[in-house]
Structure 1
């Protein structure tokens, strides 16, 4: 996502001819987009994206169970 943001900023600077970016080659401006595409291809093929999504769902499940325990008063243990 950072590569995509960087590419958009560089593209805008090149298009509006602002600063030293106006003199750069279009290949340098397009490089962050290519890196973003490579990152997404690797993340999808390696399973990184799926693992992150599964971890997020698991954490939401644990949080939901903890909230339900607190609402029932089961999760809180008092000392005697």
Structure 2
């Protein structure tokens, strides 16, 4: 099982690689949608990336409560724990 630091690192790595995010802007309290300039199609890409990197299915409605990167990290960590 990945620890939170590994989840954050993996997440930030694919956000930089696949979403051309600026690593300096990936702070826990930053607004994820605004920082990544996500539109509805980008959310589909994000779901696919999370599923590919962490091995669990994501429901689109799960993203309704994710505002900041910290919310996102917490969500991934909680779902990853359920896999164990």
- TM class by shorter chain equals under 0.3
Please tell me whether Structure 1 or Structure 2 has the larger radius of gyration of its CA atoms: 1
Greater fraction helix: 1
* Larger relative contact order, structure 1 or 2 (CA cutoff 8 Å, min sep 6): 2
TM-score, L = length of structure 1 = 0.27
